[in-house]
Amino acid sequence: MFGIWVGKWVLWILNILGKRATSLPGKVALRISPRLLEKLGAKLERCIVVTGTNGKTTTARLLAAAMAEEDAIVHNREGANLPQGLATALLKHCTWTGRLRCRTALFEIDEATLPLVAHALPIKVVVVTNVFRDQLDRYGELDTTLEKLLDGLRRTDAVAVLNADDPLARHIGLAYGKQVVYFGMSKDQLQHEVRDQMRDGAFCLECGHELVYHGFFYGQLGDYHCPQCGMFRPHPDFVGHPHPQGLTVSEGSLPEVTIALAARGLFNRYNALAALAAARVVGLDIASVQAGFRRYEPPLGRMQAFETSPPTVLNLIKNPTGCDSVLQTIRADGDTKVVCIAINDNAADGKDVSWLWDADFELLTEDPKTVRYVTTGLRAEDMALRLKYAGCPTDAVVSIPDLATALDEALLQADACEAKTVYVLSTYTALYPIADRLQRRAHSHEPSPAYRPSVS
């Protein structure tokens, strides 16, 4: 009880100070009452969990928007997905006497955190978006991540909502042994020509043999099977047909449903498909899902546009596969552009920046329309070096460790070479300061001509 009090006090003070309160109140409360999650978790009727490497925050927000159509829910919407973040979200929805105002919680949970909190929450559904390589220094290796996910899942009786196109997720489904629902993209979307990108699922986890692919969607996602033991991509219960305006989904023999999505990129369509599948498993009707998705607000740094001059588009990058999908989207933009890349190596970013060399930055350096680069953050110079070895002329790159100065320089350079867009890529801890700066730059200027009302 005392822990709840103190946590609420911290929350209250942070609110007064106008600070973001996503982890600290929970951290303090957990230090005083280590069993706080168990206590508050016991008051929930059900808990839905979204985990996986990429797309957790977006998927959880889409699902939250759909679920909020029916009832208020507890949700760690800022993506603080460690125990202190979950505790903070619960504290926000409980009274000073410890009563919880909602019966349902929707938590985005870090893969390594799931086994630590699974016993404390009435978890009914677990969505695994995908399993890619992420932050080796935090988890050791990919195998450990898989083990943690499985371990966490086994501590529940949840329905697992898994990505059929991901052989690593398929392994989880087979090893879990309880109820599993799969989502996946339509086979007519398969790419048969592939770049030399990282593929984490190249080997069958059932028998160790090399997997055979009929084609790829992106990363290791594709239509795979194992010629030795017969492991194969299951036919998805929810099949997505992506198109420029969004996604059409078929669910068994039910009529097809079309979802409008503003965000670009195949990875965003995967997130929407995962959220829709989970919403249906939770029991929502399609009308609520559609209405919810329409009200969805994208989290910070997912193809987020700022009205600077020229306009800026901000993207979070944190591992090779996620980064590659962003790079592909930038390359697909046929106009002249400047790219600013912010790399920090604080604990929340991952202290090991080796992954920059696995990401396919050649996608940009081979693109004649990407004309200039500004690298920034604590590892600005490492990023510049990556671009140099990717074949970028050294005079097209400038390193400016200070984030604000770097953004100003990127906008200046964009002006000078008449670029239509500045794409900003950023690791986690640089994201908020960058968004702040861009917001300020957007306000400090006259609105660009495109947004001015006609005076003719």
Partner 1 sequence: MNRPLRIAHLYPDLLNLYADKGNILTLQQRMAWRGYAVEIIRVQHTDDAKPGEYDLVLLGGGSDREQELVGRTLRRNVAEWKAAVEDGLPLLAVCGGYQLLGEYYQLPNGTKIPGLELLDLRTEAGSPRLIGNIAIQSEVGIILGFENHGGRTRHRHAPLGTVISGHGNNGEDGQEGVRYKNVIGTYIHGPLLPKNPALADMILQLAMDYAGISGTLRPLDDRMEQAARQAFMERRMELAPAVLQHK
Query: By the criterion CB under 8 A, which residues form the site for partner 1?
Result: 136-137, 140-143, 198, 202-203, 208, 210, 345, 351-358, 378-382, 384-386, 388-391, 394, 397, 399, 401
Contact partner at residue 231 from Zn ion, partner 1, none, CB < 5 to 8 Å by partner kind? Zn ion
| Contact range with Zn ion by CB under 5 A, out of 196-204, 241-249, 409-417, 443-451 | 196-204
Residue 103 contacts residue 112 (beta carbons within 8 Å): no
* Closer residue to partner 1 (CB): 210 or 285: 210
206 sits near Zn ion (criterion: CB under 5 A): yes
Compute the least distance from the CB of residue 82 to partner 1, in Å: 19
Contact partner at residue 140 from partner 1, Zn ion, none, CB < 5 to 8 Å by partner kind? partner 1
211 sits near Zn ion (criterion: CB under 5 A): no
Compute the least distance from the CB of residue 215 to partner 1, in Å: 19
For the window 369-408, what string marks contact with Zn ion as x by the rule CB under 5 A?
----------------------------------------
Burial 141-159 (b: 16+ CB within 10 A, else e): ebeebbbbbbebbebbebb
Contact partner at residue 185 from Zn ion, partner 1, none, CB < 5 to 8 Å by partner kind? none
Contact partner at residue 439 from partner 1, Zn ion, none, CB < 5 to 8 Å by partner kind? none
21 sits near Zn ion (criterion: CB under 5 A): no
Compute the least distance from the CB of residue 191 to Zn ion, in Å: 23
* Closer residue to partner 1 (CB): 127 or 205: 205
Return all residues near 40 (Cβ < 8 A) that are at least 6 apart. 4, 87, 90, 91, 94, 98, 100
Contact partner at residue 355 from partner 1, Zn ion, none, CB < 5 to 8 Å by partner kind? partner 1
The dihedrals phi and psi of 182, each to the nearest 5 degrees, come to -110, 145
As a whole number of angstroms, the distance between CA 314 and CA 300 comes to 8
Burial 313-345 (b: 16+ CB within 10 A, else e): bbbbbbbbbbbbbbbbbbbebeebbbbbbbbbb
